[in-house]
């Protein structure tokens, strides 16, 4: 594809030097690539700049708001939003070109199946496939939710379903995976607490047990080998710490209320 598509790609980053080059190469067909970086300490910004991206440095505001900031800087009608560890295969790029160059598109947004790779294996069970996500949309008809975690695109119009995939190379290094679990469980606990939810450590443990059982047995994660086992355990650990941290926030709030004579 020699000609650039009338398409903007939006990517948010922080310390993504390992992932970003392959991501950018996979969307080199786009006329504009916007990278919003939240003060990376590695060479992420240099990589993006050298590739010709429009780079903005923005303090972290949560996944939803950060991605919307990137979208706001896109100049084309059609926007494709990606994470740095995702790639657009050739067949998917061809389909995107058909959509964005069509004079009368059939939908306001499009969802893709996401092919997740973990430790070198395509994960096909436990809800990891087809793992549909809305990533291509008309800018004027769409907006990111403001969630700090598990954000999504809300499209005002028809969302069509595509059969061409996005490839996602999820974090495979266990030390980094644990850091990700710690971060996501903290964000999830805070979001739940702000929403008025309450729980206990016992409830957190039961949720973790049920999560593992569902992922590994009911949703056949066992068929994905040791990678499936690792992911089921990681999902359960994330679930436990999300709700254990929520219980901790609830206890802290209760103690604070008592100290002020509210309870």
Whole-angstrom distance, CA of residue 37 vs CA of residue 45:
7
pLDDT tens across the length of the chain (263 residues): 458 999 999 999 999 999 999 999 999 999 999 999 999 999 999 999 999 999 999 999 999 999 999 999 999 999 999 999 999 999 999 999 999 999 988 899 999 999 999 999 999 999 999 999 999 999 999 999 998 888 999 999 999 999 999 999 999 999 999 999 999 999 999 999 999 999 999 999 999 999 999 999 999 999 999 999 999 999 999 999 999 999 999 999 999 988 877 65
Secondary structure E strands in the chain: 5-13, 30-37, 54-57, 78-83, 86-87, 109-112, 114-118, 121-122, 133-138, 142-144, 153-155, 159-161, 166-169
Q: What are the boundaries of each domain within the chain?
A: 5-169, 174-258
The CATH class for the domain spanning 5-169 reads: alpha beta
Two tokens, residue 186 = 């903290």
Question: Alpha-carbon distance 164 to 109, whole Å?
Answer: 14
- Cβ-based neighbours of 103, under 8 Å, separated by 6 or more: none
């Amino acid at each position: 594809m020699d000609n650039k598509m009338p398409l903007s790609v939006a990517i948010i980053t922080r310390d993504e030097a390992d992932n970003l080059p392959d991501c950018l190469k996979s969307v080199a067909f786009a006329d504009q690539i916007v990278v919003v970086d939240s003060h990376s300490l590695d060479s992420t910004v240099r990589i993006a700049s050298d590739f010709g991206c429009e780079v903005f440095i923005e303090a972290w505001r949560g996944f939803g708001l950060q991605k919307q900031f990137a979208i706001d800087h896109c100049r084309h009608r059609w926007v494709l939003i990606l994470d740095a560890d995702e790639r657009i295969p050739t067949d998917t790029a061809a389909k995107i070109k058909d959509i964005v160059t069509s004079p009368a598109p059939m939908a306001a947004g499009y969802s893709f199946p996401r092919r997740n790779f973990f430790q070198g294996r395509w994960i096909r069970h436990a809800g990891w496939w087809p793992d549909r996500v809305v990533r291509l949309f008309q800018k004027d008809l769409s907006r990111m939710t403001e969630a700090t975690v598990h954000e999504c695109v809300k499209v005002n119009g028809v969302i069509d379903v595509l059969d061409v995939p996005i490839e996602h190379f999820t974090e495979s290094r266990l030390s980094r995976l644990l850091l990700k679990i710690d971060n996501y469980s903290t964000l999830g606990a805070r979001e739940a607490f702000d929403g008025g939810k309450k729980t206990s450590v016992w409830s957190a443990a039961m949720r973790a047990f049920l999560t593992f059982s569902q992922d590994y047995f009911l949703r056949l994660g066992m068929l994905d080998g040791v990678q499936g086992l690792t992911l089921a355990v990681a999902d359960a650990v994330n679930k436990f710490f999300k709700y254990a941290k929520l219980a901790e926030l609830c206890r802290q709030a209760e103690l604070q209320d008592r100290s002020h004579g509210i309870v």
